Amino acid sequence: MDDARAVVVCGATGGVGPAVVQAFASSGETVIAVSHTEADLAALKGIESVIGEVADLTKAEEVEGLWKRIDDRGVNVRALVNLTGGWRGGDLISTAPEDYRFVIDLNLTTTWFSCRSGAPRLVASGGGAIVNVASKSALAGGAGEAAYSVAKAAVIRLTQVLAEELKDTGVRVNAIVPAVIDTPENRESLPEKIISKAAAPEDIAQVVSYLCNEDSALINGAAIPVFGRLLG
């Protein structure tokens, strides 16, 4: 696999992950799909050109170990997509410390450690793109999701900071900002009137793919809304 170019997708088996993996694989890309457990990678069976990797992205040593394994494969990574995240509700006063830490770690810490280890590899390979995932909640700060809103707002600021730090290296860093995505989990918990206006995972995947390609070479440090029809 010497001199091969690949895309690393973290959170590859979540609600949007398989669609993102499929979008890259369909265009002939090698995709290194990262999930929390080996069992979760079963969701990607049947997609060609996928290399499965397992890591706990909340732990810096596991993230660096993941990237050392990627180095050992002889792969030059051209793009890193950070999809790992999840929602847990609660206002600031009632949110338990363990719930706060869980939400911050799942949404922000995973992105921080992934960028920390991945960015130097992208620089060394001659440039590329990083795409992070924030949320409409980061912009509005709605009541009842304090930790989640703060974590996703921090993802946007991390994206902006890293874009500034890497602007002269050929590595671009952007974030997408979804509202509600039409995933099986959301279909179980949200009313149809909301789901009917949500963005499809495949549509989100197309935006991610675009931000990783040279067609978007002028876009750097941006937080791009992908709200579907949930504009209010």
Q: Per-residue pLDDT averaged across 100-110, rounded?
A: 98
> What pLDDT, in 10s, does the model give residues 26-49?
999 999 999 999 999 998 988 989
43 within a domain of the structure (yes/no): yes
Give me the catalytic one of 24, 67, 112, 148.
Answer: 148
145 within a domain of the structure (yes/no): yes
Tell me which residue range forms the domain holding 149: 4-225
Maximum CA extent, the chain: 53
Question: Quick check: 175 pLDDT over 70?
Answer: yes
232 within a domain of the structure (yes/no): no
101 within a domain of the structure (yes/no): yes
pTM (global) more than 0.75: yes
230 within a domain of the structure (yes/no): no
Lowest mean pLDDT among 5-9, 31-35, 148-152, 187-191: 187-191
175 within a domain of the structure (yes/no): yes
Count: domains in the chain: 1
Mark whether 210 is an active-site residue. no
> What pLDDT, in 10s, does the model give residues 199-221?
899 999 999 999 999 999 999 99
CATH of the domain at 128: 3.40.50.720
